[in-house]
Amino acid sequence: MTQCCASHTPRQSIIDPMSVRSTFVNRTLIVLCVAALTVISTAQADTYRFEAVDDFPIIDAGEVPYQSEAPDREALTIDAANENYRNRSARATLRYEGESDFYDITLTTLAELAGEAEYRVLINDVLVGTANNPEVGQDYTPIQHTFEDIVVPHGATVAVESLANSNGKIPEGRGTAFAGGRWTTLELDNGDAGTAAADEVDLALHATIDKSDVQVGDVFTISLDISNRDDSAVATGLQLALTRPRAEVALASESPLLCHESGNDIICPLSELPAGNTTSVSVSLQAIAGSPKARLRATITTDQQEINPDDNVVTLPLSIRANADGNERPMPGLDSPLIPDVVTSDNGQPDTESTVDERLESGQSGQIGQSEQADQAGNSIDAATTDSRSGAGSLSFWLLWLLSTPTIQCGYRRLRCWPSSASDCDKSRSAD
């Protein structure tokens, strides 16, 4: 019997080299993909998009308020149909909660046929960009204005301003139509911003006004001191902006600083300012319309990163009174001078009270004041007063009273009261 013995071979693990290679490649690819995604995620630009209608909670921070056109149009606009809102700026603001960084800021506006509206972007009340819409052939054409490399710190107040103006080309009613300064979005993008290093500066602004209570036609001066702290870089691209109500304050021709007007701003370029230095400048302005609260704001800006922008803005109070020829002429009343204190006779010498009384009783005309119109008004009133004493001519008396100049006379002195009748006028004379 043949015994067959089967040989036993120990079990061995067989590894396919191709399988090992494939597994290694797969794992390597996974690692590389994860790393690439991490790099891409890290390098991805931060973009913040703010809708004018939805994301700006305050829309009445300017001279006039904005109003929303939603749902017809997702834009903020000034109600230019209101004549009191024309040539005045509106402002909308929000608080920025993103990361502090350099950003390219893009404002999307709507260009209009009626006017080339002006826009301003401000960060913490510091002006960082201005732009005007171009002329267009179609109403509400979207236009993008981009301001590059703007530092926007976390928690900053971001503001957009625009002006309702007219180019005088579109007839409307008895005048021309006005553009409403419409805009739709504001976008912050740090993809390309801040690639070039910018030196930090720390500017400070101090401003005073020589006269805070002026009259229409008066020229007043704002004096400004701009300083650059010791640990700052040389400040370049310095620009002073004076924001004022354009309808009430204008740049005076004799201003010592070279400036130009741009919408509600008076822009004054300045020279470089080394660290630790201070420069002093002054700007002369002229009051052109009455306003009890004409606020002025001075702002200093630079093309570099500002360490502390809070001390770059100064607000100055200003009260403008109407002049003597304006509509605020005092009405007759107590201590209201209605005729000049000096009454002259025909020979140019001052008259005494008795002489004037004699001339009034006899109907002789005198030189009351300096103008021929005042002479005629005084004589007419005298004649009407004489008629009224006899009970006649009261109607002509009052007609002449109402139509005469403020140099109305009752007797030889200024009136101390507004007479309710001709007899009261006589009483006023006899009391004197």
Distance between CA atoms of residues 429 and 415, nearest Å: 9
According to CATH, the topology of domain 200-321 is: Immunoglobulin-like (2.60.40)
Q: What is the pLDDT of residues 99-131, one digit of tens each?
A: 888 899 999 999 999 999 999 999 988 888 999
Task: Give the global pTM.
Answer: 0.51
- Do the domains at 47-189 and 200-321 have one common CATH topology? no
How does pLDDT run along the chain (432 residues), one tens digit per residue?
Answer: 444 444 444 444 455 555 545 555 566 555 555 555 444 444 456 899 999 999 999 999 999 999 999 999 999 999 999 999 999 999 999 999 998 888 999 999 999 999 999 999 999 888 889 999 999 999 999 999 999 988 888 889 999 999 999 999 999 988 999 999 999 999 999 887 654 445 788 999 999 999 999 999 999 999 999 999 888 888 888 899 998 887 789 999 888 888 988 878 899 999 989 989 999 999 999 999 998 888 899 999 888 888 888 899 999 999 999 876 654 433 333 333 333 344 444 444 444 444 444 444 444 444 444 444 444 444 444 444 444 444 445 555 555 555 554 544 444 344 444 444 444 444 444 444
Tell me if 129 sits within 8 A of 120, measured CB to CB.
Answer: yes
Q: Which two tokens stand for residue 267?
A: 């822009």
Distances (CA, A) of 102 to 42, 260, 266, 303, 313: 16, 29, 27, 12, 21
Confidence at residue 392, expressed as pLDDT on a 0 to 100 scale:
45
Q: What is the pLDDT of residues 355-366, one digit of tens each?
A: 444 444 444 444
Distance between CA atoms of residues 25 and 20, nearest Å: 9
Confidence at residue 399, expressed as pLDDT on a 0 to 100 scale:
57
Residue extents of the structural domains in the chain: 47-189, 200-321, 353-431
CATH of domain 47-189: 2.60.120.260
